[in-house]
Structure formats: C-alpha cells, structure tokens
Chain A
Amino acid sequence: MICKRIVLHFPQRLVEQPIIYKLVKEYSLEFNILKAYVTPQEEGLMILELKGKDADFKKGMEYLQSVGVKIQPLSEDIIRNESKCTDCGVCVPICPTKALVVDPITRKVHFYDNKCIGCELCVKVCPTHAMEVHF
C-alpha cells in the first residue's frame, strides 16, 4: 500500500474531463480531496491524498501524466522561508495537522512538510510572511 499527498495541475483542456473518476474506477485508488480550484475554462489545481496498491498507484500516475496532468509532491508547494521565520510559534495552534511543532528543547518551530495539507492557514497568520506558497 502507498499513501501520498500530491498536487495536480490540470491544463484548461482537461478541466471538464472526469480524471479523478478514472483513478478510482480503473486503478482502484482511494482519494481524499484536500483542496481544489477547478473552474471551467481555466487551469485547474487539486491537492489529493491518494491511497492504493503500489502497482496501481504507479499506473495511476502514469495515466495522469499520459493525459497531460502535471504532478508535484505537496511538500514542494508550501515552503518556509527560513530567513524570514522568527520561530515565534503563533502558527502552531492554527495548523490543523500538527505540521508545525515547537521543539521543546530549542524552542524553534519545525515544519514537517510531509504532514502539510496545503490549507494555507499558516500563510495568512505568519507575522513575517515566512510561509510561502509556490504553486
């Protein structure tokens, strides 16, 4: 089994096609939509958690690529600008998935990007704009 969070970029021509449906139907992948901006006539963006057998997952990804969907791992998209972060910790209770955690010894704030679901709540509350979105 494999479970990954990925960001999908749909070119305009694919927005009106049932891409995710095929992932379920033909590749038996379980999905959980974490975020989606899919508007007709525009480029679409979707953040998904996908779960399934390793072989199915691989085939599913190949299918997505073959139709022209650009795939990125989620962690590439929410980035902490280390030079801006002051390690205050005001983001910590706002993060719904505990991706931002204070180290009890150093009192520095760690960002575990593998836990990040890209909700962007931290992006808005960060007083020094250290959390950046790179879609």
Chain B
Amino acid sequence: MKTIAEINKKIKEGRAVVVTAEEIIDLVDKKGAKKTAEEVDVVTTGTFGPMCSSGAYFNIGHSKPRIKLGGGTCRLNDVPAYAGFAAVDIYLGATAIPDDDPRNKIYPGEFRYGGGHIIQELLEGKDIRLEATAYGTDCYPRRKLETLISLKDLNEAVLFNIRNSYQNYNVAVNTSDKIIYTYMGALKPNIGNANYCSAGQLSPLLKDPYYKTIGVGTRIFLGGGIGYVAWHGTQHNPMVKRRENGIPCAPAGTLAVIGDLKQMKAEWLRGTSMLGYGVSLNVGIGVPIPVLNEEIAKSAAIKDEEIYAPIVEYSQNYPHFVAGTLGEVNYAQLKSGKITVQGKEVPTGAFSSYSKAREIAEELKSWIKKGDFLLSEPVAPIPGAESGYTFKPLKERPITQL
C-alpha cells in the first residue's frame, strides 16, 4: 500500500503523519486499521530499561612510544575492559566491575560502580582513568600506560549492544520464605511482589511482532542519538508460542544495536546497580515502524490488555532452569499496581520505565516530524517465527583427553 521511499518523501516534505505506539491504539479503535493505515505513515515505539548485554568499543589512539594492549590488560577507573584486539582497541562491557569490588561477599552486594557507569560518565564529559599493561614487542615496545581519557579524545567510541529490547519478558516472583535479590529486583518472600520489565504497548518488538519492518539496518533512536539494528540479538528466540495477535507468550525476539556513542546522551544511557546481582546499563531505544499496510497498523495498535507475560518463579525454578510458569498476566493488569498469583493479591513493580519509554517515542516522533530522521529500508530480515531459528540450552559435555 505504501513504501518506505514514499514515506521518506513525505518526511522530507514535512507532510508525514507520525504517531506514537500509544496514540495509534486510539486511532485504530476509532477508525479501524484500514483507515488508520491510509492516514498514518510512521508509528514510534520506545523502551528504557536495564539491558545487561550492552557495552561500547573504543579506539584510544596510539601513544608515543607505541603500546599494544592486545594480549595485555586494560582498566578504566579500575573496571576491566577487554583488550583482545589490535593495539589500541578495547571493549567495555556494561556489567564489568572492579577486581576489588566485594561482589556478594557482603550479601547482598551493592555493586555501586561498573562498566555501565563508565559509559554514563563518558557521556557526561568526565575524565576516566585508563591503566594498561602490555608485554612489549619490537614494534610496540611500551609495557605500561597510565592516562586520563575522555569521550572527545577517543577516535571511535561506539555503543554496540549484542542483546537489547526483548520482545516480552517474564514477571518475576519468589515463592520461597526468604527475600531474594535478582536481576528483576528484590523479590519478597511468599510472592510478596511481582516485578516486570517491558514497556508493553510501547515496546518496539511487541508492536511489530513478526519483524515485518524491523530488520538489519533499521535506523533507530539509540541512547538519545541515532543508531542501527546491527543483527538479531543473542538469545533471539522467534519460534516461541504466540497468541493469535502474534504476541509471543514468553521472551522471544531480541535486537543487537549499534551507534556512535559520541552523539548519545547520558540521560538515555544510565549506569545501573542491582542489589545482590550486579551492574548494568539502562538503555533507551526507540524504533520507528513504517505503516506500510493495514496489517502493520493492526499490530502496532496492540494494547497492554492484549499482551500477556508469563509469571516465573525465581527462587527455585529460574535458577535451576525448571520449565513452567505460575500463570499469565497482561500488562494492563501489571500496570494497575497489583495482580493475583495463586489466589494472592500481589503488588507489582517495574524495572523498565514506562514514562521514559513514552518520552523516547515522543522524541523520535518529533525528529521524524522535523525531517531530521529518515526511515531506512532493512537490508536483511531478522529470523522470524517460521525460520526454524531457536535458542538452545547448553548441553554440557565432560572434558576428556583426546
């Protein structure tokens, strides 16, 4: 019905009709999907939450005399960065923490500082202490380097997150008799609370459940700047059971995303501490969905009431990889502040900020309306619900002498 090229033409002329993933719900309710698809060109989505498989790579520039960090060590404010590349390329993971962090030795550990915080501090313009060691070669003789670095001094600083933007997620509860500290927050005993982590009706992959428009090369809002979908994310699991509307009944698709860190903002990339669990990075992502036809409009208008998440037990079942759920609940129920689990009324808590997700969808909408942001044609699809692509558990094999 419409093509991305046609939509881009309208964006350039300032005529594109852009609405958020919340706003399209009302439109489809009132006018129907067919009429809405004719009128609306782009739907903007958003999500903001802790996404642990995030990080950034940097090229720090060559020192004089030269040093080869590859095969050596590198620390940024005491947080280890991966140096197994060429001379001065490093990768900093969001969950990395200093060697002398007490971790969970004093339980629950506070995990106050790590890779995610360094990414935020770089964006705030702060100086970061880099300390590296190397073994020295004829062409790279130096063995030690200690210097301050800042974002503007780096050659490349690229956010490259290998798994973000989960399509749906578990609701976490604890049936044991003591509090537990998880990546879904503190879970009180005897199902004292239920925590969830998805933007629901604003979440990118829930509004394009079969990845009809989102693919490799899709231009997105990433951390307050412009980024791209680089690939499907790790643990991408498109084959899980789905409801009639296409919404997966369990965590399903994921995205790997990439973008120039230098144009991003600390407001949308925030270091995060999870009590008793570790450090992470809160990432803000917004994906535009071109409304190419009625089908896409219909999916983009799926609302919280129609998106169900599985309730998963985190004291025994999750850690021991025991399948099964304690039921299903939709995001409207989760957002009401309480749900019923095993006959008990339970207060809910969110790890993903819905108000920030909404701000992202609004921000992306304003970029497109101003003509600053054009949609990109995906260069390859990500594996879909019929692809046969699955997420396998590890099959452990004993290490034997060959």
A128 touches B (CB below 8 Å): yes
In the bound complex, residues from chain B placing their C-beta under 8 Å from that of A92 are 337, 347-350
Question: In the complex, which of the residues A87, A102, A106, A129 contacts B337, with contact meaning CB atoms closer than 8 Å?
Answer: A102
In contact, B274 and A127 (Cβ under 8 angstroms):
yes
Interface residue count for A (Cβ, 8 Å)? 19
> Please, how many angstroms separate the alpha-carbon atoms of A92 and B185 in the complex?
11
Q: How far is the CB of B350 from chain A (nearest CB, A)?
A: 4
In the bound complex, residues from chain A placing their C-beta under 8 Å from that of B273 are 127-129
Question: In the complex, which of the residues B48, B272, B347, B354 contacts A93, with contact meaning CB atoms closer than 8 Å?
Answer: B347
A72 touches B (CB below 8 Å): no
Q: How far is the CB of B305 from chain A (nearest CB, A)?
A: 15
In contact, A94 and B186 (Cβ under 8 angstroms):
yes
In contact, B186 and A125 (Cβ under 8 angstroms):
yes
B170 touches A (CB below 8 Å): no
A48 touches B (CB below 8 Å): no
In contact, A93 and B195 (Cβ under 8 angstroms):
yes
In the bound complex, residues from chain B placing their C-beta under 8 Å from that of A102 are 335, 337, 350
In contact, B282 and A107 (Cβ under 8 angstroms):
no
In contact, B353 and A87 (Cβ under 8 angstroms):
yes
In contact, B282 and A90 (Cβ under 8 angstroms):
no
A118 touches B (CB below 8 Å): no
* A87-106 contact mask (Cβ, 8 Å, vs B): 1 or 0: 11111111000000010101
A86 touches B (CB below 8 Å): yes
Q: Can you give 16 A-B contacts (C-beta < 8 A)?
A: A86-B270, A86-B282, A87-B354, A88-B351, A89-B349, A89-B353, A90-B349, A91-B349, A92-B337, A93-B195, A94-B349, A102-B337, A106-B355, A107-B353, A107-B354, A125-B275
Q: What would 5 more interface pairs be, CB under 8 Å, given A88-B49, A88-B351, A89-B351?
A: A86-B270, A94-B349, A107-B353, A107-B355, A128-B273
Residues of B within 8 A of A (CB): 48-50, 108, 110, 112, 185-186, 188, 192-195, 270-275, 280, 282, 335-337, 347-356, 358
Q: 7 nearest interchain CB pairs? A: A93-B193, A93-B347, A89-B350, A107-B354, A93-B349, A127-B272, A88-B353
Residues of A within 8 A of B (CB): 86-94, 102, 104, 106-108, 124-125, 127-129
